[in-house]
Structure 1
């Protein structure tokens, strides 16, 4: 007979700031598509904790004999805030899966959310990890939106073929946020950037209406972000100084040869003039000049215009992420 192995007991405790390195490692192993560093995760949690709306954030660590096995977290969503709406996630690295760790963490998380009176919970999983989606379905979650990670290998991008598309209509010029700040000062440049960003983000597909984006919070978040890369924020600006289109690039936490796309879009009155395409081409040329290997972007499957633009440029979709919802507010 094969002797049975007795696993050490599983303990679950609240995570502390001292746990950020192990939390970032667990979350990166569970979702290597979007790796995190301790500094990056500390910043994200700090943004929630310090939000003027008084948002909630909590995270737990599951351990066996002192060894980390998984984590669960829940938080209010700053971009889609409602006091009874939460994001919740259970993250188990593959080597620790199928041992009941996720079930224990989920039960603890569900009890916490019941205690807080949650009426809506959002979560999700990738289509190539069907067990994660089944796990949520069994708990009463249903699909709301699907998102593609779209990836462009820059070795396959011929910038010269897009030279004409990178031009802007008469009366507009392209400048980075860093360049605009050198001309008018960083505060004034961020104010102009904010006006465009706040309008463009309102039309991005999401599961609930966006929280209004106030200037002071936007400025603070931008300047305190460890990934702040003003040279990678490209803007289309009128002769009067109005920002009418934008495309953002951010350094990736764990891979210096990768850049991640933030928001790309055009203000409503200036759409259908090729501005987003022009800025995106310039951003990709900038990435090539910096020796970057690949650029990642994420798009809802309902955002057909942006998906079509990215497909034209050579971005290719990875397995879709399915966002799921329990309840509703």
Structure 2
């Protein structure tokens, strides 16, 4: 998986954590995976998964990856046949899959199987060394009545449970307006706790705008990257509806960039749907530059 998509690599620990999280989820999420072997070497993988964030019992996400040197030999076609038979037996009514826009052969592979484009997502990347903080100094200040704290700092002040519940409440509300190809489903506090136990989660990199009453009004999440100490990934950046249009997201992103500079980070990566105009505008102003878009494609519908 890491060789096929080096921009988003996995380690065994992070992959095991993610699969365990899916398999133990109270929704009873489905997970099925296959590998293609050639002489004892894995040359391809496929998966049929359900995710909690956009759950429907008849919606599945399909993944298929083949090493470039094993391409054009029918490996992908055979794996696709296995996945299709599996999903047909389960009565799937919607399947989401995708490929990058510079992989026309992969997009055509999906189109031949009845998939059509549903949405596009960019990886946006900031070269931290080239970022000049001077013109942005005034924008880092929060409105009166708000403080900027990391999750670790808030936990030290009010205790882990109270801090995480305040963070969870803001996360749940902010993510409802993030563009996606289906309705957002509930993120329970238990699932949120599991998310925070991920090997790459960093409570010092989760930046929050906190009211005097302890409510989290906005958040911007930084996560460590797999096997790359010079890179940080952005999780969710968002603001609760009552606090929007007051510069909170921009202020927290600026603090995140400052934190990255202090840590000697080379790049910050974030992902944005092409329809998320407000966040794309903020990232463009800050100097994030888009990479090739990931084209999410859909078969059927629920």
Asked if Structure 1 and Structure 2 have the same fold, meaning a TM-score greater than 0.5 normalized by the shorter chain, the answer is: yes
Q: Structure 1: which 4+ aligned runs deviate by more than 3 Å?
A: none
State the match for 1:272 in structure 2. Answer: 245
1:74 paired to 2:48:
yes
- Post-superposition offset of 1:78: 1.1
User: Higher relative contact order at CA 8 Å, sep ≥6: structure 1 or structure 2?
Assistant: 2
State the TM-score, normalized to the length of structure 1.
0.91
Matches of 2:262 and 2:135, distance apart in 1? 16
| Residue aligned with 1:125, SS | strand
Matches of 1:276 and 1:64, distance apart in 2? 48
Q: Deviations over 1:151-209 (max 9, x none)?
A: 00111111232111100011111000000001011111000000100000000000111
Matches of 1:260 and 1:221, distance apart in 2? 15
Contact 2:52–2:187 (CA under 8 A) maintained in structure 1: no
State the match for 2:272 in structure 1. Answer: 299
State the match for 1:310 in structure 2. Answer: 283
1:103 paired to 2:73:
no
| Residue aligned with 1:168, SS | coil
What is the root-mean-square deviation of aligned Cα atoms in Å?
A: 0.8
State the match for 1:122 in structure 2. Answer: 96
Matches of 1:234 and 1:55, distance apart in 2? 30
1:225 paired to 2:198:
yes
Match of 2:142 among 164, 168, 177: 168
| Residue aligned with 1:257, SS | strand
Moved more, 88-97 or 141-150: 88-97
Q: Deviations over 1:90-110 (max 9, x none)?
A: 101212111111001001110
| Residue aligned with 1:260, SS | strand
Q: Deviations over 1:279-318 (max 9, x none)?
A: 0000010011001100000000000000000000000000
Matches of 1:30 and 1:213, distance apart in 2? 30
- Post-superposition offset of 1:217: 2.0
- Post-superposition offset of 1:55: 0.7
Match of 2:186 among 200, 212, 236: 212
Rg comparison, structure with higher value: 1
| Residue aligned with 1:256, SS | strand
State the match for 1:286 in structure 2. Answer: 259
Q: Which runs of 5+ in 1 are unaligned?
A: 1-26
- Post-superposition offset of 1:227: 1.1
Matches of 1:175 and 1:64, distance apart in 2? 51
Aligned length: 302
After superposition, where does 1:29-68 map in structure 2 within 5 Å? 29-68=3-42
| Residue aligned with 2:228, SS | coil
State the match for 1:131 in structure 2. Answer: 105
Matches of 1:99 and 1:147, distance apart in 2? 29
Contact 2:119–2:273 (CA under 8 A) maintained in structure 1: yes
Match of 1:149 among 123, 134, 154: 123
Q: Deviations over 1:66-100 (max 9, x none)?
A: 12110001111111111110000110121211111
1:253 paired to 2:230:
no
- Post-superposition offset of 1:220: 2.9
State the match for 2:159 in structure 1. Answer: 185
Q: Which runs of 5+ in 2 are unaligned?
A: none
Matches of 1:198 and 1:299, distance apart in 2? 18
